[in-house]
Amino acid sequence: MPYITSMFMPRAKGDRPLPVPKISKNLALISQFVEIPDDVVFTVEYSIRVAQMAVYELLGIDRKIPPILHHDDSLKVKFDAVVKAFL
């Protein structure tokens, strides 16, 4: 997979399109190359979240998208990382 690192290349805000472009009425983009603020690409959750956002917005479905969880902010995760670093 020669382009596997392309998702992790540096980019600026606005380099990637939104799942449903602002002027779109019937077009949505779903992939690892659309922009979801504060989320991390290359996960199953990212792919599912993008598809949900696109479908809900285009069909006018009033449901919440599952929240983005920041596991790295947990004190337990940080403590476990320090313990594993020294074992």
Provide the number of structural domains found in the chain: 1
pTM assigned to the model: 0.69
pLDDT at 3: 67
Residue among 63, 3, 72, 64 nearest 33 (CA): 3
* Residue numbers of the domain that contains 66: 4-85
DSSP string, 31-73: STTS--TT--SSSHHHHHHHHHHHHHHHHT---PPPPPP-GGG
List pLDDT tens digits, range 21-70. 988 889 999 888 888 887 877 778 888 899 999 999 999 999 998 888 77
Tokens describing residue 8: 């992790």
